[in-house]
Amino acid sequence: MPRTFRIGDSVEYNGPRGRVRGKVKKRLTARTKVKDHDVDASEDDPQYLVASDDTGEEAAHKPDSLDKVD
């Protein structure tokens, strides 16, 4: 079963400087751009827009790269 998240869920992921904690802002289900990166999301292969709790920076992540935290 694929991992799913809801808007507002707290998640962690591996960033360039270690583990990062953030909140899910949006479920991406269509091809889009985040900053200057193409995000190849679809209904069958969604990604999630996550905002870092520390910096507020937003990035798209595949569900398998995210861990839900309490």
Q: The dihedral of CA 57, 31, 13, 53: what is its sign?
A: positive
Residue 69 counted as domain residue: no
Is 58 part of any domain?
A: yes
Instruction: Answer yes or no: is 5 within a domain.
Output: no
The residue segments making up the domain with residue 23 are: 10-64
Q: What is the C-alpha to C-alpha distance for residues 6 and 18, in angstroms, rounded to an integer?
A: 24
Backbone angles phi, psi at 29, to 5 degrees: -130, 15
| Residue type for position 9 | D
Residue 4 lies in a domain: no
- Residue 1's pLDDT is 59
What pTM was estimated for this model as a whole?
0.91
Going residue by residue through the chain, which has 70 residues, state the pLDDT in tens, using 9 for 90 and above: 578 999 999 999 998 889 999 999 999 999 999 989 999 999 999 999 999 999 999 999 999 999 999 8
SS3 category, 65 = helix
Q: Look at the chain and report how many structural domains it folds into.
A: 1
3 in a domain, yes or no? Answer: no
